[in-house]
Amino acid sequence: MNCLEERIVKDGIVREGNVLKVDSFLNHQMDIELFDEMGKEWKKRFAGKNINKILTIEASGIGIACIAAQHFGVPVVFAKKAKSINLEGEMYVAEVESFTHKCKNQVIVSKKFLNPEDHVLIIDDFLANGCALQGLIQIVQASGATVEGIGIAIEKGFQAGGRMIRNLGFHIESLAIVEAMDSETGTITFREQ
Amino acid sequence: MNCLEERIVKDGIVREGNVLKVDSFLNHQMDIELFDEMGKEWKKRFAGKNINKILTIEASGIGIACIAAQHFGVPVVFAKKAKSINLEGEMYVAEVESFTHKCKNQVIVSKKFLNPEDHVLIIDDFLANGCALQGLIQIVQASGATVEGIGIAIEKGFQAGGRMIRNLGFHIESLAIVEAMDSETGTITFREQ
């Protein structure tokens, strides 16, 4: 088990409806030392890739992406979930559905910050049905930039997102892939990697 | 001028209505090396303070807070702006008005992540009228924790928030305090610190 899997076993809480709560270290309170280990691991797994920018999505992807960016020496762009009056000018827009919040969001990135010369690593905290990720991929492709890879903290392997997006030829590295969860016993089974 | 002030002069854009766009390095695309310099500076300015947790607010505070946290060796908690079905249990709630988005938000932090033993550094990207910051202070105080200090990237010195909150006895360290902006000439005047 890697450090993220160990932490999920220690502090993750399984709830009914396939909900995995990791808010004590990943997406509400954030363990920065753990994020640093995760960044190190992605750097290793994406070794040799020509990456000049990290793209993530607000809110819980941002902290992970910023700490990981230190290992790649690149800036981070975060996609926003709602139109802001300060975000004028031309924007790339994708529509995504949220599993957690049960609603549709527009995801936007200013055209200033993605262009055909960019080689992008997408980073996010969760991959389940893959809607958010598809929105980010759509935005990178609309800009003419290249998706060099996708770094995910926790993938729900029993949902279709990861398989679908890998089948499209994308290189996804999920640090923990949950194959099964049992809310009665609290047991979490990870995919062997 | 410190590195943030220099960067604002170089890449900030002044718009009518006292809008300062810093989205190329601070709150949409994020320059992680700049954030690291900012974290170093806050560590110096809050030297000797007993800080065991950083509190920020989604979305644009998160990256800055996470990089700063490495200089303090502490975890980060970010306040959320809307109720999420995954955020069950008891929460601290404050109502804040957004200058940028012209709407009211509930700001929430799980009670699990703030308690009377905590000594909190609050970090955010902007301080203007101070509404978001007052919400965060209210939440820290409701938890019984201590606000050890407040680190702001850019303060709009011509708006009332900073003065008001300093008058309440809080120790605010803003890395750049904008005294005046002229959208016609693009001139930005900083307060001498």
Max avg pLDDT among A129-133, B67-71, B107-111: B67-71
Question: How far is the C-alpha of A146 from the C-alpha of B128, rounded, in Å?
Answer: 38
How is residue A17 written in tokens?
Answer: 């409806």
**CB within 8 Å of B30: residues ≥ 6 apart:** A66, A69, A75, A76, A77, A78, B63, B64
Predicted confidence (pLDDT) at residue A88 exceeds the cutoff of 60: no
Supply the pLDDT for residue B33. 98
% chain B with pLDDT above 70: 93
Residues of A whose CB is below 8 A from B76: 29-30, 32, 63
Mean pLDDT confidence for B53-67:
97
Residue A157: φ, ψ to 5° = -65, -20
Predicted confidence (pLDDT) at residue A56 exceeds the cutoff of 70: yes
Mean pLDDT confidence for B128-149:
96
* Contact between chains at A76 and B23 (C-beta distance less than 8 A): no
Supply the pLDDT for residue B81. 87
Supply the pLDDT for residue A85. 47
* Contact between chains at A77 and B110 (C-beta distance less than 8 A): no
Mean pLDDT confidence for A143-170:
98
Residue A100 pLDDT class (50, 70, 90 cuts): low
Question: How far is the C-alpha of A33 from the C-alpha of B39, rounded, in Å?
Answer: 16
Predicted confidence (pLDDT) at residue B85 exceeds the cutoff of 50: no
Question: How far is the C-alpha of A50 from the C-alpha of A27, rounded, in Å?
Answer: 28
Supply the pLDDT for residue A96. 82
* Contact between chains at B58 and A63 (C-beta distance less than 8 A): no
Predicted confidence (pLDDT) at residue A89 exceeds the cutoff of 70: no
Residues of A whose CB is below 8 A from B82: 101
Residue with tokens 């890998």: A166
Closest Cα in chain B, distance from residue A7 (Å): 15
Cβ atoms of A14 and A20 closer than 8 Å: yes
Mean pLDDT confidence for B133-152:
97
Supply the pLDDT for residue B187. 95
Beta strands in chain B (DSSP E): 13-15, 19-21, 29-30, 53-57, 76-79, 91-98, 103-110, 119-127, 146-156, 172-181, 188-190
Supply the pLDDT for residue B1. 83
Alpha helices in A30-160 (DSSP H): 32-45, 60-72, 131-143
Supply the pLDDT for residue A117. 98
Residues of A whose CB is below 8 A from B7: none
pLDDT digits (tens, 9 = 90+) for A30-48: 999 999 999 999 999 999 9
* Contact between chains at A80 and B28 (C-beta distance less than 8 A): yes
Supply the pLDDT for residue B96. 82
How is residue B177 written in tokens?
Answer: 């305090």
Residues of B whose CB is below 8 A from A110: 23, 28-29
Supply the pLDDT for residue B179. 97
Closest Cα in chain B, distance from residue A69 (Å): 7
Beta strands in chain A (DSSP E): 13-15, 19-21, 29-30, 53-57, 76-79, 91-98, 103-110, 119-127, 146-156, 172-181, 188-190
Question: How far is the C-alpha of B166 from the C-alpha of A67, rounded, in Å?
Answer: 31
The least confident of A79-93, A132-146, B7-21, B63-77 is: A79-93
Residue A105 pLDDT class (50, 70, 90 cuts): confident
CA nearest to B118, candidates B79, B137, B144: B144
Mean pLDDT confidence for A125-149:
96
Q: Model-level pTM?
A: 0.95
ipTM: 0.94
Residues of B whose CB is below 8 A from A113: 24, 28-29
* Contact between chains at B30 and A63 (C-beta distance less than 8 A): no
% chain B with pLDDT above 90: 87
Amino acid of residue A146: T
Cβ under 8 Å to A: B residues 75-94:
75-78, 80, 82, 84-88
Closest Cα in chain A, distance from residue B70 (Å): 7
* Contact between chains at B100 and A113 (C-beta distance less than 8 A): no
Mean pLDDT confidence for A65-80:
98
**What value does the mean pLDDT of chain B take?**
93
Mean pLDDT confidence for A163-180:
98
Predicted confidence (pLDDT) at residue B88 exceeds the cutoff of 80: no
% chain A with pLDDT above 90: 87
Q: How many CB atoms lie within 10 A of CB B179?
A: 13
Question: How far is the C-alpha of B18 from the C-alpha of A85, rounded, in Å?
Answer: 13
Supply the pLDDT for residue B126. 97
Predicted confidence (pLDDT) at residue B113 exceeds the cutoff of 70: yes
**What value does the mean pLDDT of chain A take?**
93
How is residue B108 written in tokens?
Answer: 């929430």
Supply the pLDDT for residue A102. 65
Query: Residue A59 is nearest to which of B32, B74, B78, comparing CB atoms?
Result: B78
* Contact between chains at A59 and B70 (C-beta distance less than 8 A): no
A101 and B CB contact within 8 Å: yes
CA nearest to A5, candidates A126, A123, A176: A176
pLDDT digits (tens, 9 = 90+) for A13-29: 999 999 999 999 999 99
